[in-house]
């Protein structure tokens, strides 16, 4: 396996010859392994949470359940375009015993991508450390797509203050 693949979830995705949903965030193309994606919805209004870090866009109701919505551009440390129409929320869930779930605010969907048989390519050396910590590797076929490791997103340093408030 490539050096860029470090988490169990990304490894399972590669072993299963999985696909990922490609999404536009800022000027970049990112992939979310489909096994972690619960659903995709239109962007919707969110209620800001007092004292939450900026990466937490707010909360919304999805079929009667409260869902935290994260700003994926802020989480990845990439510049986001001016907010406008056409955005989406991708609801992702963790498969492990913690079963965490959140909505990720993205710019637009870009279709499905197959993970390469040879495995993901390592990230370029110019990639920021914050993005490197959240990525599993790159689908090198044009256009290149950085595949994100969903469990790592839930454990991102930008969310530590929120996680500390909910963990025993």
Question: Measured on CA atoms in the order 117, 118, 123, 129, is the torsion positive or negative?
Answer: positive
Cα 138 from Cα 105, distance rounded (Å): 21
Domains and CATH numbers, the chain: 8-163 (2.40.50.180)
Cα 94 from Cα 97, distance rounded (Å): 8
Instruction: Please tell me what DSSP assigns to residue 107.
Output: S
Cα 110 from Cα 18, distance rounded (Å): 17
Q: What is the mean pLDDT of residues 123-147?
A: 94
40-93 residue pLDDT tens: 999 999 999 998 999 999 999 999 999 999 999 999 998 876 665 568 999 999
By three-state DSSP, how is residue 131 classified?
helix
């Amino acid at each position: 396996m490539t050096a860029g693949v470090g988490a169990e979830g990304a490894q399972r995705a590669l072993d299963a010859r999985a696909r990922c949903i490609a999404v536009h965030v800022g000027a970049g193309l990112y992939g979310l392994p489909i096994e972690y994606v619960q659903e995709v919805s239109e962007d919707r209004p969110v209620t800001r949470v007092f004292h939450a870090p900026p990466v937490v866009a707010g909360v919304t109701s999805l079929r009667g359940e409260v869902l935290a919505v994260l700003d994926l551009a802020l989480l990845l440390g990439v510049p986001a375009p001016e907010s406008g129409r056409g955005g989406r929320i991708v609801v992702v869930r963790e498969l492990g015993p913690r079963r965490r779930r959140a909505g990720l605010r993205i710019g637009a969907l870009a279709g499905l991508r197959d993970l390469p048989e040879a495995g993901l390519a390592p990230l370029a050396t110019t990639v920021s450390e914050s993005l490197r910590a959240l990525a599993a590797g790159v689908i090198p076929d044009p256009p290149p797509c950085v595949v994100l490791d969903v469990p790592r997103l839930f454990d991102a340093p930008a969310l530590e203050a929120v996680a500390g408030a909910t963990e025993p």
